[in-house]
């Protein structure tokens, strides 16, 4: 007992504290003082992430939390590698991954992890900017040179208040999903000429966005 620790509420507040008791049911701490926290990013980014297999989903949730997303919405898309909805137990597990990541990186905010949702339902929501990360070979045979695929930094534009960033599964987006995104006003963008692992895309894309939008 008596060890100095930091505690946070997951909603943006953090305190310096001292361990005052240890028991079977948990640890008691005495709050000493509130401390300044690292500022959150200037844009509230919601990550629409197609459900990935096993550890890949954990990696994506961990890195997206570290890089400042405001919310993560697991999506059920045509080419997801899981056979069916993962259910509430999986959502609770991903919330635990987000909490652990916030602790590790010193973030006082834990992103909201929502229940699984279909792509079309997520597109019904309003955001100031909506981007879909498209792999080079997706959708059509000429996708590698498709002029409708924008460069991410160019598509990002001036920093909005809110943004939706869509990332597909290991199997990639279907052509119908890409067409749906375009029909609904989502800007289809690519990160470069190579196909990245699905669990790496959120971290790469968020890093690029913060370079443009500032953080």
Where do the CATH 3.40.1280.10 domains begin and end in the chain?
44-213
Alpha carbons 35 and 14: distance in angstroms, whole number: 6
**pLDDT of 210:** 96
Q: What DSSP element (H or E) covers 14?
A: strand 14-23
Alpha carbons 138 and 130: distance in angstroms, whole number: 18
Q: How high is the mean pLDDT of the chain?
A: 85
Alpha carbons 206 and 183: distance in angstroms, whole number: 24
**pLDDT of 145:** 46
Alpha carbons 129 and 210: distance in angstroms, whole number: 14
Q: Which of 30-44, 82-96, 115-129, 135-149 has the highest mean pLDDT?
A: 115-129
**pLDDT of 173:** 93
Task: Say what percent of the chain tops pLDDT 70.
Answer: 76
Find out whether 118 and 75 touch, Cβ atoms under 8 Å.
yes
Alpha carbons 174 and 152: distance in angstroms, whole number: 20
15-70 pLDDT, tens digit each: 666 766 676 666 666 666 667 678 899 999 999 999 998 899 999 999 999 999 99
**pLDDT of 194:** 85
**pLDDT of 190:** 86
**pLDDT of 63:** 98
Alpha carbons 47 and 68: distance in angstroms, whole number: 10
According to CATH, the topology of domain 44-213 is Alpha/beta knot (3.40.1280)
**pLDDT of 39:** 85
64-93 pLDDT, tens digit each: 999 999 999 999 999 887 655 667 889 999
Nearest to 168 by CA among 71, 105, 79: 79
Q: 98 — phi, psi (to 5°)? A: -65, -40
Task: Say what percent of the chain tops pLDDT 90.
Answer: 60
The whole-model pTM stands at 0.86
Identify the band that residue 141 occupies on the pLDDT scale cut at 50, 70 and 90. Answer: very low
């Amino acid at each position: 007992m008596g060890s100095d620790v930091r505690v946070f509420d997951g909603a943006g507040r953090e305190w310096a504290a001292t361990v005052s008791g240890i028991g079977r049911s948990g640890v008691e701490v005495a709050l000493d003082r509130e401390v300044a926290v690292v500022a959150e990013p200037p844009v509230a980014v919601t990550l629409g992430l197609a459900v990935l297999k096993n550890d890949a989903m954990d990696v994506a949730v961990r890195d997206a939390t570290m890089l400042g997303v405001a919310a993560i919405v697991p999506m059920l898309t045509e080419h997801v590698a899981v056979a069916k909805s993962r259910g509430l137990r999986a959502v609770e597990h991903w919330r635990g991954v987000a909490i652990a990541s916030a602790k590790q990186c010193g973030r006082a905010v834990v992103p909201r992890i929502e229940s699984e949702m279909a792509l079309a339902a997520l597109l019904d929501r309003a955001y100031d900017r909506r981007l879909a990360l498209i792999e080079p070979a997706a959708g059509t045979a000429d996708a590698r040179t498709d002029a409708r695929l924008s460069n991410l930094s160019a598509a990002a534009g001036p920093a909005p208040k809110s943004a939706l960033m869509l990332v597909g599964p290991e199997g990639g987006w279907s052509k119908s999903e890409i067409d749906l995104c375009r029909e609904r006003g989502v800007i289809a963008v690519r990160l470069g000429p190579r196909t990245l692992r699905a669990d790496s895309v959120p971290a790469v894309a968020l890093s690029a966005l913060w370079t443009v939008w500032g953080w």
